[in-house]
Amino acid sequence: MIPLHWYLWLSAVVFMVGVAGFLMRRNIIIMFMSIELMLNAVNISLVSFSRYLDDMRGQILVFFIIAVAAAEAAIGLGIIIALFRNKVTAHVDEANEMKG
Amino acid sequence: MTLNDLAPLIPLMVIAVSSVIIMLGIAFYRSRAFSGLLTLAGIAVAFITLFGVQGTRQVTSLLILDDYALFYIGLILAASFVVALLSSDYLEGRRENIEEFYILLLLSTLGSSVLAASTHFVSFFIGLEILSVSLYALIAYTRNELNIEAGVKYLVLAAASSAFLLFGIALLYGETGTMEFSRMSSGISAQGINKGMLLTGFALVLTGVGFKLAVAPFHMWTPDVYEGAPAPVTAFVATVSKGGVFALLLRYFIQVDMHAYPSLFGAVAFIAVASMFAGNLLALLQKNIKRILAYSSIAHLGYLLVAFLAGGVMRVTAVTFYLVAYFITTLGAFGVVTMLSGKERDADAVEDYQGLFRHRPWLALIFSAMLFSLAGIPLTAGFIGKFYIVAAGAGSALWLLVIMLVINSAIGLYYYLRIIVVLYAQPGHSEVSAVSSLPLTGSLVLVLLTVLLLWLGVYPEPLIEMIHRMTMRF
Amino acid sequence: MILIWLILIPLMGGLLAWLFSRGNDRLPRWISLIALIIDFILVLLLWMQYPERAGLTNRSWLVDINLEWIPRLGISFHLALDGLSLLLVMLTSFLGIMSVAASWTEIKERVGFFHFNLMWSLAGITGVFLSLDLFLFYFFWELMLVPMYFLIALWGHENRISAAVKFFLFTQLSGLLMLAAILGLYFVHARGTGIYTFDYTQLLGTTMGSTEGMLLMLGFLIAFVVKLPAVPFHTWLPDAHTEAPTAGSIILAGLLLKTGAYGLLRFAVPLFPHAALDFTPVAMALAVIGILYGAVLAFGQTDLKRLVAYTSVSHMGFVLLGIFAWNELALQGAVIQIICHGISTGALFIIVGALQERIHTRDMERMGGLWTSAPRMGGVGLLFGLASLGLPGLGNFVGEFLVLIGAYTVSIPMTAIAATGLVFATVYSLWMIQRTFFGPREVYLKVPDLNMREMTVMAFMVAVIVWIGLYPQPVINTAKGALNALQKNAGAMTSFGKISYPVSTGADRDTK
């Protein structure tokens, strides 16, 4: 059996990739995808913990996360479309009316 | 598990059901007044059912409707009632199809209430997401440029912070083998715990929660979202969303005794001090009322954390009293902003308020009362709140934090006073101050809030007793 | 109940004055005046009933009212009156009447709101002098500042905003430190006895460690010396006094500064006698520095109002000296100095205000030779100038003299240096009078003299200062019981007060 920490390393690496993408990319769709990546990294670790602890609750949380992520994406894309209508861009740096 | 076991959840169900009723109602009959009335009725009914909650309060391992939760849910409901009243006149004429606003309002209220009752990471997560996902849409609701920008910023950062939070939850779950708050501490004291993993988990959870509470260093989104969101929504973000999260944070860290982890304690203390300074110092630089209030709310959360860090009997009472005072004050302040806002833009420039006392003396007085309360001047609820926090801090001998609080209070005074002076100065030339007449409901709400503010400032005893009774179990 | 009325009357008077101010400027003035006169009569009646006026009893509290307020935290609505508070409350309503009368024509805008603020700050000050619950005390302490802030910020002179903000920040920050100290004391007391209370009478005699006591005492002390003000916390004072409208200056100098002195007398020393004793050398040094520093800076001013403001720093130095000498003579001196400084400085501010109303400047360079056209103003100005320099026969002399005798028994060098302050006072007072009323005549050939209203105000103030100067015994008798009680509270635990030799005041002779 593959030891737990391998999964955790995988999860951590995927999470960091997500964080890096979130911080470095300026296109809002890509930033959104990076967040999905982070969530999926969480899912990996939850599932592996769940298996390791022999406890189903971790996996149930994963289902919730998947559902919520879908809802978030729906609303998020709605707002992004509204932004696009106003500015014809999906670039966050263009949304910079407010400063201070 | 019988249907009876779900009985304590009735208040939450009422809110959920009313949002569905409104959604269906809109399909048949589109009317702002109708949806608005349904919303108010739903919140009122939910509030009344709070008093009927009896018997076993724990509903599965996810939620508990104990007195503490009931108090916070009551507070949250009252605040969203006020926001619903304030927004009714504000929304008119800002965009077509304004009825859905109320569905979102009810849903986020529901999310916040769930947070106040959570005893489990799963309910925590679900409550938080119900709250945030509806907030994304609320913030961008009137769809002008600032709204959408604020919505995008909130969306991106909130989603990222949820991811951090979840990662923290995963780590804590992996280490302790449970997601229930009450069993967490025994899980922690079990053998073979990886301390580093545990602390990383706590830190990540704190990051996620800190983002929602807008405490430094996770506060960056706050001024933009406060400025960009429609004024009533800003009031909602500042009160309902923070109130629920704070209730949860308090419950969590009481059950998992935070004082057992010096590094965790230190981290929260750092957050408290950083929030106080960041909020107050940055507020000094602002020229926009909503941004000033945003920074001031960051500072106020810092003050709250001081009481939060204090142990002892006073902690829960102090935090809760302060939150009540903060709710009243913030709703009042943003209520004034809402009332003065024209259709083109919100009345958020400091110049818009110049000489307000001349043409709207009552509104100016109400606004001054709110600002005095934020500054913690006697006769207002804010004074008693601040006193209570300093008392809690002093009671646990957190002198350094208390001194920081004192210094920050003085810095804070400076910018509150600046606004107050503007209110009484010679009138300037601003189109916003020329709004023809003030809506009646809004005026009544503001008067009511002011009366409450002064009442709590002069005779806080009944509320203190009530809070004490409701939160005794902690 | 009468104590509650003493606070309620100005509060209600202020509200009424504001409510009836729509399009009517006279009504608020009359309402405030009448309310304050009622207040004054009430205090006077109290004083008449007070047997200690003639030195008959040694009872400490004359009137005492204690209601529950927030029992959960041990907070009560506890007001009480002894001889000391009686004198100060009397001073408050007296100067209140004077300040309303003095600003009768000066204030032309927002008259109702002005009187509202004036009355509320007077109510707050009265509350400070009467509270015996530390929470209540802090409540009033903060409450009196807000209306004062408005008085300066809205009706002040050129740089009013910055002066008001500076005043507010100084006093608030120090007030918050006091709050922390109050809470510290509250918890220390609870640790020792298990009783959570803010009641002054119960907190007296709390046992505490010496470092702890010193820190807590410093928390109180800083709040009080900022108000007093003592060097180096005085920087807000010249600005605030100079920029405030006349009524504001009278209240600031005559009353607000006195709350600091009162706080030291009532709270800082009796609650922490050990710490206060340890701190005595420093406090006395600060007092002496204040006396000299204020006098020297007063001499350097060309702005008349600023000059008077700096003399306050100097005079309040005597009060601080007297309080920390802590023997009966010095304390009596401090009390008399508190009252007389309130009246003489108030009168000087009224004169400066009257001058400014007439010639629109406070710059002494542009004054001179006013005596010829305004002899009455000159005469009164001269009288209060002389009072300020400590001329025998006027009240201030009695106060300063008693303080110096009292302090002499504690520290001879300090007393000697402080006495030189009197010389400086002579110089700046005479110089001030000379520059304004005598000297070469400037452009202002025709300055209208004091009118009936102003002369009436002045007549009252002159009467009081001369009366105290010639026959201070009633004041001494009134304060005696209270001061003895304070000394007993502090002295019971330390050698405090034993440094001094028992000196008989007139009061003893009266009773025996």
A60–B177 CB contact, under 8 Å: no
Which residues 50-89 of A have a C-beta within 8 angstroms of B?
52-53, 55, 57-58, 60-61, 64-65, 68, 71-72, 75-76, 78-80, 82-83, 86-87
Touching chains C and B? (3+ Cβ pairs < 8 A): yes
Q: Is B110 helix (H, G, I), strand (E, B) or coil?
A: helix
Give the position of tokens 């706080």: C263
Q: Residues of C with CB below 8 A from B461's CB?
A: 69-72
B204 touches chain A (CB under 8 A): no
What distance in Å separates the CA atoms of residue C108 and residue C103, rounded to the nearest whole number? Answer: 9
Query: With b meaning 16 or more CB within 10 Å and e meaning fewer, what string describes C229-266?
Result: bbbebbebbbbbbbbbbbbbbbbbbbbbbbbbbbbbbb
Residue C502 has pLDDT above 50, yes or no: no
- Predicted pLDDT of residue A43: 95
Closest CA–CA distance from residue B122 to any residue of chain A (Å): 6
For C328-376, what is each residue's pLDDT tens digit? 899 999 999 999 999 999 999 999 988 888 888 888 877 777 788 888 8
Task: Determine which helix (DSSP H) or strand (DSSP E) holds B211, and give its type and residue range.
Answer: helix B195-213
For A55-78, what is each residue's pLDDT tens digit? 888 999 999 999 999 999 999 899
Q: Tell me what the mean pLDDT of segment C292-300 comes to.
A: 90
Closest-CA residue to C479 (of C339, C280, C287, C276): C339
In this structure, is the dihedral angle defined by the CA atoms of residues B83, B88, B94 and B98, taken in order, positive or negative?
Answer: positive
Closest-CA residue to C359 (of C374, C341, C347, C344): C374
Q: Residues of C with CB below 8 A from B424's CB?
A: 150, 153-154
Cis status of the peptide bond prior to B460, with omega within 30 of 0: no
- Any chains having at least 3 CB pairs less than 8 A from chain B are A, C
Amino acid at B440: L
A46–B150 CB contact, under 8 Å: no
For C432-458, what is each residue's pLDDT tens digit? 888 888 877 666 657 788 888 889 999
Class of domain A4-90: mainly alpha
- Predicted pLDDT of residue C500: 43
C326 in Cβ contact with C274 (< 8 Å): no
Q: What contacts C473, CB < 8 A, 6 or more positions away? A: C506, C507, C510
For C192-214, what is each residue's pLDDT tens digit? 888 889 999 888 888 888 888 99
Give the DSSP letter of residue B350: G
What distance in Å separates the CA atoms of residue C109 and residue C115, rounded to the nearest whole number? Answer: 11
Q: What contacts C177, CB < 8 A, 6 or more positions away? A: B406, C219, C222, C223
Closest CA–CA distance from residue C168 to any residue of chain B (Å): 9
- Predicted pLDDT of residue B177: 86
Structure token digits, residue C254: 């005559």
Q: Residues of A with CB below 8 A from B143's CB?
A: 82
- Predicted pLDDT of residue C442: 62
Q: Residues of B with CB below 8 A from C164's CB?
A: 417, 421
B200 touches chain A (CB under 8 A): no
Q: How confident is the model at residue C158 (pLDDT cuts 50, 70, 90)?
A: confident
B383–C139 CB contact, under 8 Å: yes
What distance in Å separates the CA atoms of residue C123 and residue C116, rounded to the nearest whole number? Answer: 10
Which residues 252-311 of B have a C-beta within 8 angstroms of A?
285-288, 291
Closest CA–CA distance from residue B432 to any residue of chain A (Å): 20
Cis status of the peptide bond prior to C229, with omega within 30 of 0: yes
What distance in Å separates the CA atoms of residue B44 and residue B188, rounded to the nearest whole number? Answer: 41
DSSP conformation letters of C407-475:
HHTT-HHHHHHHHHHHHHHHHHHHHHHHHHHSSS--S--------HHHHHHHHHHHHHHHHHHH--HHH
What's phi and psi for C362, nearest 5 deg? -115, 10
Query: For chain C, which residues lie within 8 Å of any Cβ of chain B, measuring from their own Cβ?
Result: 69-73, 135, 138-140, 142-143, 146, 149-150, 153-154, 161, 164-165, 168-169, 172-173, 176-177, 179-180, 183-184, 186-187
Give the DSSP letter of residue B96: S
Task: Determine which helix (DSSP H) or strand (DSSP E) holds C159, and give its type and residue range.
Answer: none
Which residues 120-149 of B have a C-beta within 8 angstroms of A?
121-122, 125-126, 129, 133, 136-137, 140, 143, 145-146, 148-149
B312 torsion bin: left (phi>0), alpha (psi -120 to 50), beta (else): left
Among candidates A15, A22, A98 on the partner chain, residue whose Cβ is nearest the Cβ of B146:
A98
- The residue of chain A nearest to residue B295, with distances taken between CA atoms, is A100
Touching chains A and B? (3+ Cβ pairs < 8 A): yes
Total residue count of chain B as it appears in this document: 474
C172–B372 CB contact, under 8 Å: no
Tell me whether strands C63-70 and C75-81 are parallel, antiparallel or unpaired.
Answer: antiparallel
C183–B424 CB contact, under 8 Å: no
| Mean pLDDT, chain C, whole residue set | 86
- The residue of chain B nearest to residue C137, with distances taken between CA atoms, is B378
Domain map of chain A by residue range? 4-90
Closest CA–CA distance from residue B160 to any residue of chain A (Å): 6
B372–C72 CB contact, under 8 Å: no
Touching chains C and A? (3+ Cβ pairs < 8 A): no
What distance in Å separates the CA atoms of residue C449 and residue C461, rounded to the nearest whole number? Answer: 18
B299 alpha carbon, distance to own chain's centre = 13
- Predicted pLDDT of residue B456: 94
Alpha carbon dihedral C203, C204, C207, C213, in 10-degree steps, equals 90
- In terms of Cβ atoms closer than 10 Å to its own Cβ (0-12, 13-18, 19+), residue B1 is exposed
- The residue of chain B nearest to residue A98, with distances taken between CA atoms, is B224
Closest-CA residue to B73 (of B38, B113, B115): B113
Neighbours of B411 (CB within 10 A): 18
ipTM above 0.85 for this complex: yes
Among candidates C71, C142, C177 on the partner chain, residue whose Cβ is nearest the Cβ of B378:
C142
A41–B167 CB contact, under 8 Å: yes
- Predicted pLDDT of residue A99: 65
What distance in Å separates the CA atoms of residue B422 and residue C234, rounded to the nearest whole number? Answer: 27
B316 alpha carbon, distance to own chain's centre = 16
A40 touches chain B (CB under 8 A): no
Whole-model pTM? Answer: 0.90
Which residues 408-467 of B have a C-beta within 8 angstroms of A?
none
Closest CA–CA distance from residue A2 to any residue of chain B (Å): 17
What distance in Å separates the CA atoms of residue C11 and residue A54, rounded to the nearest whole number? Answer: 71
B442 in Cβ contact with B86 (< 8 Å): yes
Q: Tell me what the mean pLDDT of segment C99-114 comes to.
A: 87
Domain map of chain C by residue range? 2-511
DSSP conformation letters of B398-463:
-HHHHHHHHHHHHHHHHHHHHHHHHHTS-----SGGG-S---HHHHHHHHHHHHHHHHHHH--HHH
Q: What contacts B287, CB < 8 A, 6 or more positions away? A: A100, B349, B350
Task: Determine which helix (DSSP H) or strand (DSSP E) holds C245, and give its type and residue range.
Answer: none
- In terms of Cβ atoms closer than 10 Å to its own Cβ (0-12, 13-18, 19+), residue A84 is middle
Q: Tell me what the mean pLDDT of segment C484-488 comes to.
A: 83
A23 touches chain B (CB under 8 A): no
Tell me the H-state helices in C131-159: 134-143, 145-155
- The residue of chain B nearest to residue C74, with distances taken between CA atoms, is B461
Among candidates B387, B421, B468 on the partner chain, residue whose Cβ is nearest the Cβ of C72:
B468
Low-confidence ranges of chain B (pLDDT < 70): 1, 55-56, 190-192, 429-436, 473-474
For C216-247, what is each residue's pLDDT tens digit? 999 999 999 999 888 888 889 989 998 999 99
B376 in Cβ contact with B382 (< 8 Å): yes
Q: Is C148 helix (H, G, I), strand (E, B) or coil?
A: helix
Question: Chain C interface, mutation test: which of B354, B400, B417, most C Cβ atoms within 10 Å?
Answer: B417
Q: How confident is the model at residue C504 (pLDDT cuts 50, 70, 90)?
A: very low
What distance in Å separates the CA atoms of residue C263 and residue C275, rounded to the nearest whole number? Answer: 15
